[in-house]
Structure 1
């Protein structure tokens, strides 16, 4: 029995790989894509999502636009890693979508999916958590219909947008705190500490491009992102943060998690947006969130490659 999945996303190069992985995974049924500001503006993230679904042959999946800004304070800046359009300047190489954005907003689409589902729904949230925070605030009675929220975000040992904060949580710390701290809903956090260890090489990307036209198109979106990560990693590769989180959403347990109490720093000091994890003692209570700390790295890379490599190939 497949798991209904909503992907809340801000495409984004690694988001593109994450969306493709969701489409390629028979364990889940992708029932909706909701977009949020983040790597680029909401208009660009929404357009990118529509184009990516056209590439993947899944224009039946509704795409609803969500929050264009954080809950409280304006976003300080966009990411520079993904290029001007979010896809290294190559969004135009994707097919023109034939389906328009859904007339519903993201929260309404999420609500409708949760109400209609005959089993708990997984939400994979791989951008700023604004849409998810709004959903939980507006429709608290639907918490029980959420099987799990898998969040790509946070860093236990520092950040990537500031010394303390990872980009997704930094974009909207107040929303992140609502989802991770204030709500009683099952959450698995996939932090950049783990996703960074799962980085893929340029050779991995070259091999993926040779599997199919879809693989080649995905790899064709990576130049700006790859250039950024060459500097960070010190070798020729890049980090598929969001695809690692979606791997856990579609195959629970592929990442090994431990439950800890957490908080999110919402002050305007240098630690704004930081994920604060109390690692002194694992949480034995219902409080806290599951934090993915370990995986079989080569197995994870192989899993993602095999799924993405099968896209677009003849049956």
Structure 2
């Protein structure tokens, strides 16, 4: 997904390497024949050449495609460079001006990119702090959505019939009472980030040996927890549509360890200075994005197998933001 682990200096070096490895000289033009709906009237971006990007998980790709389609409806020619591996590569693309906009997460920026260790509990204050600090990095954050894609652990209802786990504190207590009972499936990035597994286990006093933690691709985590039973609990994202489709029980973060991860457009400051209409295009979209909406849209990709671009386009049309050309 998105989160922490690297301080700013190392992030810059790693990001540069990721940009090179991800082939940011490539990209596909958006060819959709779309026109303004409730946004983009008068085509305020006519003549603009803009580049969109995203990280490489379904939700962020969907959100990135929404930006591109909004720009396209407003008259811009748009190059699609979504689906960049890892959090840092996508951020560096916008920060360097190789891309103009993406949806980013407030908690990711505060902890991972800006190097803070303590999240700000109030979502709006968290966004404001990120907005203010990132201006000096050449990035402008537009107002956030209420979509909060944070972490937790989940268990299948079948397995939980035995353990009756409800909170992360319950998981910590079980690990202490029966060390052999708790096995975790997590993705590599979560396993190394301070706002991920290391910080969570410290905050909750979870003593889980490394031999009982399996690292794998995020999508496989859900399958392992739901079907094979190789892991009792798995790392999940709270906006993931597979939680509902697989009837997983998500642990409450009862100590409030995980930061707010509200999605908001992060825009190359020079681009929004040149095209201030960008804010008027994206703000209404963000205002409609909620955690429930994200779960629904993510399920269309991760459960039903639809294309993220089509999911984004269908939703924008349904909400009246854009129209078919």
TM-score (norm 1): 0.29
Larger helix percent: 2
TM-score (norm 2): 0.28
**Structure with the greater relative contact order (CA < 8 A, sep ≥ 6): 1 or 2?**
2
